[in-house]
Amino acid sequence: MKSGEDLYNYYCKTCHENRGPGAHMEYLADQEPMKPYKIILMIKYGYNQDKHSMPVFDQLSEEQADAVARHVVMLQMSHRQQ
């Protein structure tokens, strides 16, 4: 299985860039880091609220979604320390 970083780079980086929030979600950096289970839910079921949306990535297995979620948490934590 590819690493969480590899999966993030393939599926997520175009919108969420290197730090995680993405062009339309800058305000997320000021919030508490998301819990991995919430990230997994967004990966598996998508997101559509307040003019922001994220597609469903149901092609990812639970293990892959978990790896991406753990990578996103790491990005959030490293960004908060800067």
Q: pLDDT of 38-68, one tens digit each?
A: 999 999 999 888 777 889 999 999 999 999 9
Give the whole-number percent of the chain exceeding pLDDT 70.
79
Q: Which two tokens stand for residue 15?
A: 């919108």
Overall domain count for the chain: 1
The domain that contains 58 carries what CATH number? 1.10.760.10
The whole-angstrom distance between residue 5's C-alpha and the CA centroid of its chain comes to 11
Let me know: does 21 contact 29? Beta carbons within 8 Å. Answer: yes
Domain that holds residue 29: 4-80
pTM confidence score: 0.81
